[in-house]
Amino acid sequence: MPNFRNVLIPAPKSRFIRVRCNQCGNEQVIFDHATVEVRCLVCGNLLARPTGGRAEILGTVVKVLE
Ligand SMILES: [Zn+2]
C-alpha cells in the first residue's frame, strides 16, 4: 500500500473570477490559476496569462466567485 499522504499535492487556493475584457467590455468567468492563455470569447483579447501559479489577469476583475 503506498502512503497517499506523501503523494497528495495540497490544493491551491484557487478561485473563479469574473473578468471584464478591456477591449470590448465582455465579462466572462475564468479560473485564476489558469495554465493556458485565456482569451475573450467575443473579441479574442488576452484576459489571463499563465505564470506557473496564479494567472496574471490582464482584464478588469469584476468579481471573485467563492
Ligand atoms: Zn473582448
The DSSP letter of residue 45 is -
pTM of the model: 0.77
| Phi-psi map region of 40: left, alpha, beta (phi>0 left; psi -120 to 50 alpha) | beta
User: pLDDT digits over 1-54, tens only?
Assistant: 555 555 555 666 789 999 999 999 999 999 999 999 999 999 999 999 999 889
Distance 52 CA to ligand 1 centre (A): 24
Q: Return the CATH number of the domain spanning residue range 14-65.
A: 2.20.25.100
- Listed by start position, the domains of the chain span 14-65
Residue-level pLDDT at 60: 97
Distance 58 CA to ligand 1 centre (A): 11
Distance 33 CA to ligand 1 centre (A): 20
Residue-level pLDDT at 14: 84
Distance 23 CA to ligand 1 centre (A): 5
Distance 14 CA to ligand 1 centre (A): 24
